[in-house]
Amino acid sequence: MCAWMAGRAAAAPGGPYGPWLCLLVALALEVVRVDGGQAPLDPVYLPAALELLDAPEHFRVQQVDHYPPANSSLSSRSETFLLLQPWPRAQPLLRASYPPFATQQVVPPRVTEPHQRPVPWDVRAVSVEATVTPAEPHARVLFHLKGQDWPPGSGSLPCARLHATHPAGTAHRACRFQPSLGACVVELELPSHWFSQGSTTRAELAYTLEPAAEGPESCGPGGENDPGEQALPVGGVELRSADPPQYREVPLDEAVTLRVPDVPVRPGQLFSATLLLRHNFTASLLTLRIKVKKGLHVTAARPAQPTLWTAKLDRFKGSKHHTTLITCHRAGPTEPDSSTPREQSEFLWVDFVVENSTGGGVAVTRPVTWQLEYPGQAPEAEKDKMVWEILVSERDIRALIPLAKAEELVNTAPLTGVPQHVPVRLVTVDSGGALVEVTEHVGCESANTQVLQVSEACDAVFVAGKESRGARGVRVDFWWRRLRASLRLTVWAPLLPLRIELTDTTLEQVRGWRVPGPAEGPVEPASEAADEAERRARGCHLQYQRAGVRFLAPFAAHPLDGGRRLTHLLGSDWLLDVSHLVAPHAHVLDPRVALLEDGRVLVGREPGVTSIEVRSPLSDSILGEQALAVTDDKVSVLELRVQPVMGISLTLSRGKTHPGEVTATCWAQSAHPAPKQEVALSLWLSFSDHTLAPAELYDRRDLGLSVSAEEPAAVLPAEEQGAQLGVVVSGAGAEGLPLHVALHPPESCRRGRHRVPLVSGTAWLGLPPASTPAPALPSSSAWSPPATEATMGGERQVAGNVGGSMGVRGKFERAEEEARKEETEAREEEEEEEEEEMVPAPQRVTDLELGMYALLGIFCVAIFIFLVNGVVFVLRYQRKEPPDSTTGPTSPQPHNWVWLGTDQEELSRQLDRQSSGPPKVEGGCPCESGGGGEAPTLAPGPPGGTTGSSSTLARKEAGGRRKRVEFVTFAPVPPAQPPEEPTGAPAVQSILVAGEEDIRWVCEDMGLKDPEELRNYMERIRGSS
């Protein structure tokens, strides 16, 4: 074929394009061959419902282009779930159901790192101290239960036991979780011999969880032995011989700096503040004014160098404040110092004491106002005052710690418009292990508001849907009084656009499957039952295919440094199913073409092209879009796959990628049936366009099913027992029981005399006999379960009630060959009646088709204009071509001669001599006025006159001598004529190609003497033209 097309293309204009045309045709044929080949069928699964109970926030997850998973089959289904709060107050349950059967299991506990050992609680451990000294030899660790709230009462909460390991030994202590906060603190005192003088050592901390013993505060005496691999790591603490002081430096001005303690003080405690002075300070007098509230007193002022400075203390009491004036005088000359002028040294110590009462043990602040004056001070600094607040508390507060319910958040607010909150509680850890919640005078701030926000009351962090990215370890800062703490969380944000997956993007009409619908045309009253049935049948239309819909989205966290490398939740090839979140915001753009039922099933309505859109509830922007088409092409149901279900089993397993990952797999039980065994039937329809669909996608009212068995009274309808599609089996023999299932249109839409089923299949209850292979269509064995047989077109005749109810019969009425023959004839009759009576669906022109038609019309108009222009061009320039001469095509063209002369008499005389004189050469010289047509023969005229024909060259005119321009055409020599034809006048050849005699004759005739002059003259004329 390519050789033939290449030959045709080479014969046509532009023949070298033949190989390219052949290549394009070959590629087109290859595409058609690939598209028309047998594509592998989509995998099937058992359409059982899998759902999580007592899990408030969870998602179904799947791998990209791997749904259902590879381990799913007609008799099994596997689903993966992600629990975002993996440890709620009650262990979550996973339930599998396929009516009327159901089963459930408790989700196994999480697997912890690094030992991959399951634990029943999700615990966060926070080490309060980073260093421990012999003065305070206590290691404190706070344990907090994450997840949902737990039941009231402390009986169900466990104990946490802290284990400290040092080269010198081990130490243990436990605490019990408080029901109010779900937290407790272990204060473990480290032995004194663990501290080495002059060196720093490290102790590793770990913990274990154990059941609480009897009693409100008892955790049992166990745990003194080495826990080994069962302990979960907390971190480590450094053991130092001395604790570095904790203070804060605040400049009073350029020369003086104040150093104050940065720890809370206890009532009755004595503490000191230190003033630092620059070495280049030259003033001899310095005055320090200190104003304090009641409850705080200045007891003394001590110079750091008594030999250089003296200090005088004066006190003034007021109603609300006490003022202390300290006057310092230089006592001696300044000693020379080699240090730089800007270095500072201790100058003055001011001692304070706190009163015993602070008001019920609540931490309060005592403001202290400092004002400095000395000669030579800058004028703007004389009135400056510095206020320093001292935190006074009867409790020895060690740390401020925020407690959050979860440490990671999946931000679905952009998809739903509903803000998500994570509650946060602030607690203080006291010396002795006491926990106190603080709610007043709390401040907070988010380090990145584009990822996470914090509430004004600092009791929750949240996302509202306006956030643009996610992040791992985003920081939220909290402060209370002089204590500060940070909370780090991971926020996963959806990557848009959403991925909308359809099991079939092109929905077609199912041949022979007619379902009830609105009747077209006027409704005429019917008088008989037959007419009523016919009218109802005419009101039916062909069923369109249906498709399952899933809305998926990947979730990722962006790096905090602004990079582009993303971290995906569960991995880059995992997607979260957000169908339950975005289904209320999803719709079909053109509802006349298709309809979305319950956000999960796509139903075709009429031919056309449209799309499914998901719009944001916050900004009305498009979050995802998927195109689809509904056509009036016909597909057939090739195969009915039947899976009997006599019970289901369930297995659960924990994943290793994420702590909340759970995989559930359920199987259909199809063992040997017992008497009065209820059997549910799982049906899958295989279409001729290589797609598969479960029967659950279609309306139950559109499914006319009948089930039959070879033995009488073997099966009974099971609709009352609650089965979706099932029967009650009386029992089976040793070789199993075959059930024959047929799919019909609804009763009101059946037509034809025989009412042949659309497709039928056979399912064996128990083991099929080995000697009788089940008839089946040739298909891939990967999708055919061993206990299922399918037949095409219903090779076995079945009967019974249909149209939404289960028909049952006990034996067959016809032989198999007879039934096959009559079914074929009835199917042909059915198709003919459908073609004759079915009213085609109205065709609606879409915008895309309108645009294509407009472009096609423009192209046709352009081609027509081009052709018209070509025809006009050819006709116009064809008239300007010289007429064909009587001579042959190879004869030279005649030459036009121009005479520029003034002597008319000489010209006339030369012409008279030419007409009367004998010829010089063989043949004459015919002359004609103008150039065109054949030259007429010159006839001899009257003497002294000129000829009266058109060949006359010149005439005498009255009026004297005037310049005239005459055109003369010398025709070429005609070819040899036959002897019987008369010989015409002699012709003269072209001057440029004629011989010497011809040129001489012309020269004599024109009055030129030298033939070379005429030749040169004609060459110049030819060159200029």
Rg (CA), the chain: 54
Which string of b and e fits 728-749 if b means at least 16 CB within 10 Å?
A: bbbebeeebbbbbbbbbbbbbb
Is residue 299 within 8 A of residue 352, CB to CB? The reply is: yes
Give the pLDDT score at 156: 72
Give the pLDDT score at 19: 46
User: Domain boundaries in the chain?
Assistant: 123-216+229-239, 264-332+343-392, 501-518+532-553+578-639
Greater confidence (424 vs 908) lies with: 424
Give the pLDDT score at 361: 53
Mapped onto helix, strand or coil, the DSSP state of residue 837 is helix
Strand segments, DSSP code E, in 570-668 are 574-577, 586-588, 594-597, 601-604, 608-615, 622-635, 637-645, 648-654, 661-668
| Secondary structure in 3-state letters for 33-75 | HHHHCCCCCCCCCCCCEEEEECCCCEEEEEECCCCCCCCCECC
Mean pLDDT of 969-986: 47
Greater confidence (846 vs 933) lies with: 846
Element (H, E) at 853: helix 847-878
Output the six-digit token pair for 183.
Answer: 């937290």
CATH 2.60.40 fits 501-518+532-553+578-639, yes or no: yes
Give the pLDDT score at 937: 38
Give the pLDDT score at 978: 47
CATH 2.40.420.20 fits 264-332+343-392, yes or no: no
Mean pLDDT of 412-421: 93
Give the pLDDT score at 803: 34
What does the alpha-carbon distance between residue 496 and residue 26 come to, in Å, rounded to a whole number? Answer: 40
Q: Worst-scoring range by mean pLDDT, 429-438, 590-599, 1013-1022?
A: 1013-1022
Which string of b and e fits 265-278 if b means at least 16 CB within 10 Å?
A: beeeeeeebbbbbb
- Residue 491, pLDDT above cutoff 90: yes
- Residue 726, pLDDT above cutoff 70: no
- Residue 776, pLDDT above cutoff 50: no
Give the pLDDT score at 564: 81
Q: Worst-scoring range by mean pLDDT, 120-129, 261-270, 1006-1015?
A: 1006-1015
Q: Worst-scoring range by mean pLDDT, 382-391, 574-583, 626-635?
A: 382-391
pLDDT classification of 364: cutoffs 50, 70, 90 = confident
pLDDT classification of 356: cutoffs 50, 70, 90 = confident
Name which CATH class applies to 123-216+229-239: mainly beta
What does the alpha-carbon distance between residue 83 and residue 258 come to, in Å, rounded to a whole number? Answer: 53
Mapped onto helix, strand or coil, the DSSP state of residue 579 is helix
pLDDT classification of 429: cutoffs 50, 70, 90 = very high
Q: Worst-scoring range by mean pLDDT, 131-135, 214-218, 1017-1021?
A: 214-218
What does the alpha-carbon distance between residue 530 and residue 537 come to, in Å, rounded to a whole number? Answer: 10
pLDDT classification of 714: cutoffs 50, 70, 90 = low
- Residue 701, pLDDT above cutoff 50: yes
DSSP per residue over 550-561, as a string? EEEE-EEEB-TT
Mean pLDDT of 726-751: 75
Give the pLDDT score at 246: 78
Is residue 46 within 8 A of residue 75, CB to CB? The reply is: yes
Give the pLDDT score at 748: 84
pLDDT classification of 920: cutoffs 50, 70, 90 = very low
- Residue 360, pLDDT above cutoff 70: no
Q: Which positions ≥6 away from 811 have C-beta within 8 Å? A: 710, 711, 712
Give the pLDDT score at 825: 55
- Residue 921, pLDDT above cutoff 50: no
What does the alpha-carbon distance between residue 504 and residue 132 come to, in Å, rounded to a whole number? Answer: 66
Mean pLDDT of 1000-1018: 64
User: pLDDT of 537-583, one tens digit each?
Assistant: 567 888 999 999 999 999 999 998 877 889 999 889 999 999 999 99
Greater confidence (994 vs 808) lies with: 994
Mean pLDDT of 325-349: 77
Element (H, E) at 143: strand 138-145
pLDDT classification of 617: cutoffs 50, 70, 90 = very high
Average pLDDT, the chain: 74
Which string of b and e fits 650-684 if b means at least 16 CB within 10 Å?
A: bebebbeebbbbbbbbbbbebeebeeebbbbbbbb
Q: What share of the chain is helix, strand, coil (3-state, %, to 5)?
A: 15, 40, 45
The whole-model pTM stands at 0.66
pLDDT classification of 432: cutoffs 50, 70, 90 = confident
What does the alpha-carbon distance between residue 416 and residue 623 come to, in Å, rounded to a whole number? Answer: 11
Q: Worst-scoring range by mean pLDDT, 285-289, 316-320, 460-464?
A: 316-320
- Residue 925, pLDDT above cutoff 60: no
Give the pLDDT score at 150: 64
Give the pLDDT score at 278: 87
Is residue 806 within 8 A of residue 707, CB to CB? The reply is: yes
User: pLDDT of 826-846, one tens digit each?
Assistant: 555 555 555 544 444 445 667
Give the pLDDT score at 694: 93
Q: Side chain identity at 598, as an amino acid letter?
A: D
Mean pLDDT of 75-92: 79
Greater confidence (598 vs 1001) lies with: 598
